[in-house]
Amino acid sequence: MQTDAVLTTSSLGGTRRQFVRSVIYGGLAFYGLPAFARASKPPLGHVVIVGAGFAGLTAAKYLRAWSMGNLKVTIVEPNPQFISCPQSNLVLGGSRTLDQLSFGYDLTRKQHGLDWVNDTVTAVDLANKQVQLTRGKLSYDRLILAPGVDFNVSKIPGMSAPVADIPHAWKAGKQTLQLRQQLESMPDGGVFVMTIPTGAYRCPPGPYERACQVAHYFKQHKPRSKVIILDANADIMSKKGLFLQSFNGAYQGVIEYHNNSEILQLDTASKTIKTDFETVKADVLNVIPPQLAGKVAQVAGLNNVDGRWCEVDFVTYASSLQADVHIIGDSISAGLPKSAHMATSQAKVCAAAIIDLQSGNAPNPLPVFANTCYSFVDDQQAMHVANVYRYDPAKKAMVSAEGGGVSAKASTQEGQYAQAWAENIWADTLT
Amino acid sequence: MKQRYVNIVWACVVAWSLSAQAEDSSAIHTLAASCAACHGPNGNSLGGTPTLAALNEDYFVQRMQGFKDGSVSSTVMHHHAKGLTSAEIMALASYFAQQPRQTPQALPRQSFKGAQ
Ligand SMILES: Cc1cc2nc3c(=O)[nH]c(=O)nc-3n(C[C@H](O)[C@H](O)[C@H](O)COP(=O)(O)OP(=O)(O)OC[C@H]3O[C@@H](n4cnc5c(N)ncnc54)[C@H](O)[C@@H]3O)c2cc1C
């Protein structure tokens, strides 16, 4: 199980003085110890991470790097590959393939000396600090839950269980390809209907980006086809002005946006949806289900905000119910956009705090980080929303600093920067 | 017994070395790490955005202050620079100036295996 760890400290996050220190202490670091000592407990303990998405994998890398290898990190992840949700809407638009968004885990795993278990966590024994896998158990000193979101399909009237030919494609992978194939086989003149749920969901601008991508494909290949957005919310949830520029500009007559359009009844056989205002029949139907914290957080009983999301302390990302269980990424209740950039920033703050706590130091009481979310409106042009967030101890929340904002309009130049964002965040997470 | 003693000594040595590390970089390494999403691991960009690793400290501060007051045009950096204090900008400048400039590793791309 023990992986061959390489000391990466010198290349990862350090000032010159730190660098010198890491060379001096490099010899002292856990994995540099002679074999007799290596068999013993790692000096700063053992962290088990559930989920190798943007949040979990980033936490693993930085825990190892910033502790100079003095923490043992075990990741539990059932999937063999990392598939990026960011840019998966562009697969629907036709300007990316899923292959371009698929990555292996081996490089990070080897390079940062991560112990890896290809399995699913099915239960958490909080009292005994153990997680149950389908095969065996693991003990931890601290646990990080980073399971992303779960989908509450039973909340959709008429659906109750997932339906094979109505993909949500809200986790990139097979369903993304299935939805693309449905669009390809749909006749010109057909209708693509997408529903957006109320309440927090992952990637607030994501559905509107998807609408633009499908409309972009229709304009090129099925010019008589339409996109109908049935949004259960009162209004566009993110980058409203910018998306309206596209809906009323390039996609005028292609995209119809209907607000306050909660699903009252869905007939899955005929793909017909009834709302307060109308009955809409789809040729291709994409129901984005209501979301909540990943199943493992529910099983652990840590989804204490509306039974959906997990409340955490933003200094350490410890659960408000369980001090030695940290939760990061889409599963937490933060009042912040559930984005990949956010997930990686939370992971870094959490990693630094865990190292401090395990070393007997106080964590940084005032975390600050930058966040940006780009959306593509076609194959070339993108736009951003960007803010710095800082911890406000009085509000006990991450609050956006003055000076943030959105692009004036989508542009090709920002399309190039959005691509650079994707490659750099993939590199930060996966190398 | 002997093993336990060894463990305790190691834990102390490690805690001491890490607290020394915390004192140099404290909060700034987590803030700087959030720039990696666009500027690459440790400020070594894979392309498309400027590399920040080993950038001259004064130049860094000038650019950031310029984004902040609008004298340097930008697509997105003004929305970040305006949210940072001058002290944070100086600490970031010193942090990135000390990062070694490296060719970033290639992404571990694979074709989609269809399992998920
Ligand atoms: C269509 C779409 C477009 C998006 N575009 C953008 C974008 O442009 N920019 C942006 O910043 N964000 C974007 N996002 C949002 C982004 O993908 C998420 O915010 C991000 O993936 C959250 O990371 P995470 O680690 O919390 O969850 P995930 O990335 O979902 O990772 C969770 C991992 O945990 C594993 N897991 C779950 N349960 C268990 C268990 N019990 N045991 C073991 N492992 C488990 C899963 O297999 C998975 O690998 C988009 C999302 C979608 C759907």
Per-run averaged pLDDT (10 residues), chain A, 431 residues: 34 36 37 46 94 98 97 98 98 98 97 98 98 97 98 93 96 98 98 96 97 98 98 96 97 98 97 97 98 98 97 98 98 94 98 97 96 97 97 96 96 98 98 96
The confidence score (pLDDT) of residue A41 equals 78
Q: Is position B31 within any domain?
A: yes
* Cβ separation B81–A403 shorter than 8 A: yes
pLDDT band per the 50, 70, 90 thresholds, residue B25:
low
The confidence score (pLDDT) of residue A247 equals 98
The confidence score (pLDDT) of residue A12 equals 39
- For the segment B101-106, the average pLDDT, to the nearest whole number, is 95
Q: What counts of helices (H) and strands (E) characterise chain B?
A: 6, 0
The confidence score (pLDDT) of residue B27 equals 85
Torsion (CA) B52, B54, B58, B64 in degrees, nearest 10: 10
- Whether the CB of A368 is below 8 Å from some CB of chain B: the reply is yes
- The proportion of chain B whose per-residue pLDDT surpasses 70, expressed as a percent, equals 78
Using CB atoms, which residue from B13, B75, B107 is nearest to A414? B75
* Cβ separation A388–B83 shorter than 8 A: yes
CA A355, CA A426: separation in Å to the nearest integer?
24
The confidence score (pLDDT) of residue A368 equals 97
Q: Which ranges in A12-121 belong to alpha helices (H)?
A: 16-26, 35-38, 54-66, 88-93, 106-111
Q: Is position B38 within any domain?
A: yes
Range of the domain at B79: 20-102
Q: What is the pTM of this model?
A: 0.92
Determine the residue of A48, A50, A54, A140 to mutate for testing ligand 1's pocket, defined as the one with the most ligand atoms within 8 A of the Cβ atom: A54
The confidence score (pLDDT) of residue A2 equals 36
Q: Is position B76 within any domain?
A: yes
**Does the pLDDT value for residue B15 go beyond 60?**
no
CA-wise closest residue to A203 among A344, A338, A387, A84: A338
- Whether the CB of A94 is below 8 Å from some CB of chain B: the reply is no
List CB contacts (< 8 A) between A102 and chain B.
109-113
How close are the terminal C-alpha atoms of chain A, in Å? 21
Using CB atoms, which residue from B19, B24, B81 is nearest to A15? B24
Give the count of Cβ contacts less than 8 A between chain A and B: 240
Rounded to the nearest angstrom, the minimum Cα separation between B27 and chain A is 6
Residue A277's CB is within 10 A of a number of other CB atoms, namely 12
- Whether the CB of A417 is below 8 Å from some CB of chain B: the reply is yes
How many structural domains is chain B composed of? Answer: 1
Tokens standing for residue A266? 């869905």
| CATH assignment of the domain containing B24 | 1.10.760.10
Q: Is position B14 within any domain?
A: no
Residue with tokens 């075990």: A74
The confidence score (pLDDT) of residue A170 equals 98
The confidence score (pLDDT) of residue B99 equals 97
Q: Is position B81 within any domain?
A: yes
* CB within 8 Å of A120: residues ≥ 6 apart: A76, A78, A133, A134
CA distances from A74 to A115, A392, A410, A427 (A): 4, 32, 41, 21
pLDDT digits (tens, 9 = 90+) for A26-55: 334 444 444 444 456 789 999 999 999 999
**A253 phi-psi bin (left φ>0, alpha ψ -120 to 50, beta other):** left
**Does the pLDDT value for residue B13 go beyond 90?**
no
- For the segment B58-74, the average pLDDT, to the nearest whole number, is 97
Cα A53 vs. chain centroid, distance in angstroms? Answer: 7
Handedness of CA B75, A83, A246, A156 (dihedral sign): negative
The confidence score (pLDDT) of residue A350 equals 98
pLDDT band per the 50, 70, 90 thresholds, residue B3:
low
pLDDT digits (tens, 9 = 90+) for B42-63: 999 999 999 999 999 999 999 9
Cα A171 to middle of ligand 1, angstroms: 7
Closest residue by Cα to atom 27, ligand 1, is A148
Determine the residue of A202, A286, A424 to mutate for testing ligand 1's pocket, defined as the one with the most ligand atoms within 8 A of the Cβ atom: A202
CA-wise closest residue to A98 among A87, A111, A108: A87
